[in-house]
Chains A and B, each alone.
Chain A
Amino acid sequence: MIIGAGALGTGSAEMLVRAGIGKITLADRDYVEWSNLQRQQLYTEEEAEQRTPKAVAAKRRLSAINAEVDIRSHVMDVSVEEMERLIEGVDLILDASDNFDIRMVINDISQKYSIPWIYSACVGSYGISYTILPGETPCLNCLLEEVPMGGITCDTVGIISPAVQMVLSFQISEALKILVEDRLHLRNKLVSFDLWKNHQSTIKVDMLKKADCLSCGAERSYPYLSFSNQTKTAVLCGRDTVQIRPSQRLDRDLESLDKILSKRKGEVKRNPYLLSFSTSNHRLVVFKDGRVLIHGTKSIAEAKTLYHRYLG
């Protein structure tokens, strides 16, 4: 299962599908934008033009690459509830997300169901990856004494695609070893690199495994699976965008919303998966599952105001 279909998600999905993996589950909350095309290898200009959800565009391309692979693709913002639903039968979770909120959920789910996962991330020319095996290695909660806040991911420095490909090489090599059950050859080290500065480090972090870790220790409580730790609003990575997620999933009727918003000042565009409403300063993108992205602000308060002004 791959969480996220951005740069890392599209790259890892393509490698695994070409390799002929049996079944792959892919989930992503976003749609294709022009700025994605520099590195998100499954998408095209046409999909950016049409704002096709990444999960839809990715599945289309992956099926065209290898029709024999069973590809389950979901337009959804994965959190605890979704993860619990998708996890059945999964052998390995690949992190291709862009935030630590979801990574901490992946980490707890991995421990709860004893399924390995591979943390991977990159920014600029820098990348990092670590393979987490429940019952053996430290978990992400052991490694992070505090959860990195948004700022660390929201670099305006961008990312060069070789950094993506390098992280992918580390991540998918480990994935293949796990999938063919060759655990002897796993790296067992935290790896990081900076392609611009010509650095690479691999360090052994076994000693950071904490006996009293709340995610993997003897008295574990899976803190990130509890309701209070779930984010309902999130400022998205470097995009001047806030996501608002209703506390309950709903099936929004985009057609009637189209009619309502068309009467207001602004421009409405719609495809079968989402509706986009632009005002002079902001753009609201409403997904069928009820989520809303509010572009043009970093303020959660302002985003909520706009949300309630237009969507009730």
Chain B
Amino acid sequence: MILTVNGDQVEIPEAIETITELLQHFKLYDKVIIVEKNGEILEKAKHSESLISDKDSIELVHFVGGG
């Protein structure tokens, strides 16, 4: 399926169904991250049940510490 992630069109394997799986796919699971799907923020507790589908627009913002 095709998603828009941070503005880029990306092809994602069909096996990926939830936000949690998507974060694993991008190797972002160990980061503190804010996920927005189609303009709506998803709290962390909902990542594992939130389904993704073709043409979804996802914004991923992770927190870093350097400065």
Q: Give every chain A residue within 8 A of B13 (Cβ-Cβ).
A: none
Q: Give every chain B residue within 8 A of A95 (Cβ-Cβ).
A: 67
Q: Which chain B residues (1-52) contact chain A, with CB distance < 8 Å?
A: 6-8, 30-32, 34, 36, 41, 43-44
Evaluate contact between A123 and B66: CB separation under 8 angstroms.
yes
Q: Is A24 engaged at the interface, CB distance under 8 Å to the other chain?
A: no
Evaluate contact between B41 and A203: CB separation under 8 angstroms.
yes
Q: Is A188 engaged at the interface, CB distance under 8 Å to the other chain?
A: no
Contact A128-B63, Cβ < 8 Å, known A199-B6, A201-B6 = yes
Q: Is B59 engaged at the interface, CB distance under 8 Å to the other chain?
A: yes
Q: Give every chain A residue within 8 A of B65 (Cβ-Cβ).
A: 98-100, 103, 121, 123, 148, 150, 152-153, 237
Evaluate contact between A205 and B41: CB separation under 8 angstroms.
yes
| Binary contact track A138-154/B, C-beta < 8 Å → 1, others 0 | 00000111111011110
Q: Give every chain A residue within 8 A of B63 (Cβ-Cβ).
A: 121, 128, 143-144, 148, 152
Q: Is A56 engaged at the interface, CB distance under 8 Å to the other chain?
A: no
CA distance A192 to B31 in the complex (A): 15
> Looking at the complex, which one of A144, A153, A204 makes contact with B66 (CB distance below 8 Å)?
A153
Q: Is A169 engaged at the interface, CB distance under 8 Å to the other chain?
A: no
Q: Give every chain B residue within 8 A of A98 (Cβ-Cβ).
A: 65-67
Stretch of A4-12, A250-258, A292-300 on the interface side: A4-12
Q: Do most interface residues of chain B lie in helix, strand or loop, or is the interface mixed?
A: loop
Contact residues on B (Cβ < 8 Å of other chain), bracket = 20 to 34
Evaluate contact between A192 and B61: CB separation under 8 angstroms.
yes
A-B contact count (CB 8 A): 91
Evaluate contact between B66 and A122: CB separation under 8 angstroms.
yes
| Binary contact track A188-221/B, C-beta < 8 Å → 1, others 0 | 0010101001011101110110000000000000
Contact residues on A (Cβ < 8 Å of other chain), bracket = 35 or more
In angstroms, how far is the closest chain B Cβ from the Cβ of A219? 21
CA distance A12 to B6 in the complex (A): 27
Evaluate contact between A159 and B66: CB separation under 8 angstroms.
yes
Evaluate contact between B32 and A148: CB separation under 8 angstroms.
yes
Q: Which chain A residues (110-140) contact chain B, with CB distance < 8 Å?
A: 120-123, 126-128
CA distance A163 to B64 in the complex (A): 13
CA distance A145 to B47 in the complex (A): 13
CA distance A148 to B32 in the complex (A): 6
Q: Is A155 engaged at the interface, CB distance under 8 Å to the other chain?
A: yes
Evaluate contact between B41 and A8: CB separation under 8 angstroms.
no
CA distance A82 to B55 in the complex (A): 50
Q: Give every chain B residue within 8 A of A8 (Cβ-Cβ).
A: 67
CA distance A199 to B7 in the complex (A): 7
Q: Is A97 engaged at the interface, CB distance under 8 Å to the other chain?
A: yes
CA distance A95 to B64 in the complex (A): 13
CA distance A175 to B54 in the complex (A): 40
CA distance A7 to B31 in the complex (A): 23
Chain A positions near chain B (C-beta within 8 angstroms): 4, 6-9, 95-100, 103, 120-123, 126-128, 143-148, 150-153, 155, 159, 190, 192, 194, 197, 199-201, 203-205, 207-208, 237-238
6 tightest CB-CB pairs across the interface, nearest first? A153-B65, A123-B66, A199-B6, A8-B67, A192-B61, A148-B32
Interchain residue pairs with CB less than 8 A apart (25): A95-B67, A98-B66, A99-B65, A121-B65, A122-B67, A123-B64, A123-B65, A127-B64, A145-B32, A145-B44, A146-B32, A148-B31, A148-B65, A152-B32, A152-B62, A155-B66, A190-B34, A199-B6, A201-B6, A201-B7, A201-B36, A201-B61, A203-B59, A205-B34, A208-B34
